Amino acid sequence: MSELNKIALKILSNGKGILAADESTGTMTKRLEAIKVPSSSENRLLFRETLFSSASMKTCIGGVILYDETIKQTASSNKTIPELISSSGAIPGIKVDTGVKVLAGSPQEKITEGLDGLRERLKEYYKHGARFTKWRGVYNISNRYPSKLSINSNAHALARYSALVQECEMVPIVEPEVLMDGNHTAQDCFNKTSEVIKKCFEELLLHNVDLTGIILKPNMILQGNKSENKISSEEVAKLTLKCLKENVPSNVPGIAFLSGGQTEIQATENLNLINRNNNTNFIMTYSYGRALQQSALKFWSKNIKDIQGTQKVFNHRANMCTLAAQGKWSSELETK
Ligand code: 13P
């Protein structure tokens, strides 16, 4: 078993999942302003440190994705943030893309940037304690999109990124996110996501990426958020499993879904059904941002000094997600 495979399995095994706390300062500022909390670096640290020192870090969270600002910060205990995360048994990770820009040649679409100077930045992050990384490609759906150009160029970037990350002995999270925005059907999402994932693996293989040492972070197969053709959670699970079984090579150790704008409960229920019906060899878990943090953030905004209260809300959500990652969640547990 390679070292990279061991890291991936340590992050994903036993119902553990990933806390995606890698919102850029711009995104975090929007989240904090929405709840009327000033977005200072102290407040961003306070909220994140509150999560990273909660009890569920030991039992539920296998890895935490950080943003550049956070990986360099020091917690109130004088531990660095990566040390704080490691002390609970979780692995620190880092978002290394530098965000999305308009895709030249298809200006309605986006391309993710950050390859220039990446090798040097990776070495720095490794010294800070990171052992895995994230890069997100984003695709919108309509009858014209995603275009072949967007599918090919994002897959190429994800593969170049992954090869560099493995060269630096870290596990790349490969995140091709087909967005939920729009009025497309779940079948459209299935078709486009299949095409996107298939191309990503073609490029990963071309760049000699060791597939046993990556984590795939895809979207679930959902109808567009403006679609009237609603499908059930059972159908979401069925289509998601079919898409991954058909397009992901079997030596990939695990899949950690993004929540992508689903509510906390939807993201938990869908993951639970995916695991109850999992007919693949892949570990299926979560790498949630909003679906792990939303309630905790809301509570915290009204009780900024109440660390324990905030942690209680976060622990509950993490526990529910970890049960779902084992197919053991039920809606009654939400109110217990
Ligand atoms: P969401 O779960 O909020 O979609 O965030 C996950 C993530 O890391 C997006 O890149």
Please report, for the domain that includes residue 245, its CATH number: 3.20.20.70
With a cut of 50, which residues of the chain have pLDDT below it?
none
Q: What is the three-class DSSP state of 37?
A: coil
The best mutation among 258, 263, 317 to test binding of ligand 1, ranked by most ligand atoms within 8 Å of the C-beta, falls on 258
Q: How many domains does the chain have?
A: 1
Please identify, by atom number, the ligand 1 atom nearest to the C-alpha of residue 257: 2
Give the pLDDT score at 225: 97
Is 173:256 a contact under the CB 8 Å cutoff? Answer: yes
Give the pLDDT score at 188: 97
CB of 75 shorter than 6 A to ligand 1:
no
Distance of CA 314 to the CA centre of its chain: 17
Q: How far from 2 is each of 64, 168, 208, 210, 213, CA to CA, in Å?
A: 21, 14, 15, 9, 8
Ligand 1 center to residue 282 CA distance, Å? 20
Residue 95: which residues within 8 A CB-CB, separation 6 or more? 22, 24, 65, 66, 67, 68, 133, 134, 135, 136
The best mutation among 23, 263, 288, 294 to test binding of ligand 1, ranked by most ligand atoms within 8 Å of the C-beta, falls on 288
For residue 301, give both structure tokens: 């905004």
Give the pLDDT score at 330: 98
pLDDT tens readout for residues 22-80: 999 999 999 999 999 999 999 999 999 999 999 999 999 999 999 999 999 999 999 99
Ligand 1 center to residue 78 CA distance, Å? 29
Ligand 1 center to residue 19 CA distance, Å? 9
Q: Tell me the chain's radius of gyration from C-alpha atoms.
A: 19
pLDDT tens readout for residues 232-246: 999 999 999 999 999
CB of 288 shorter than 6 A to ligand 1:
yes
CB of 136 shorter than 6 A to ligand 1:
yes
Mean pLDDT of the chain: 97
Residue nearest to atom 4 of ligand 1 (CA): 260
CA distance 21 to 229: 32
Give the pLDDT score at 1: 80
Give the pLDDT score at 336: 78
CB of 291 shorter than 6 A to ligand 1:
yes
Ligand 1 center to residue 67 CA distance, Å? 13
Question: 95, 217, 230, 298: which one is catalytic?
Answer: 217
- Annotated active-site residue 217? The verdict is yes
For residue 38, give both structure tokens: 């000033």
Residue-number span of the structural domain to which 173 is assigned: 3-335
Ligand 1 center to residue 128 CA distance, Å? 23
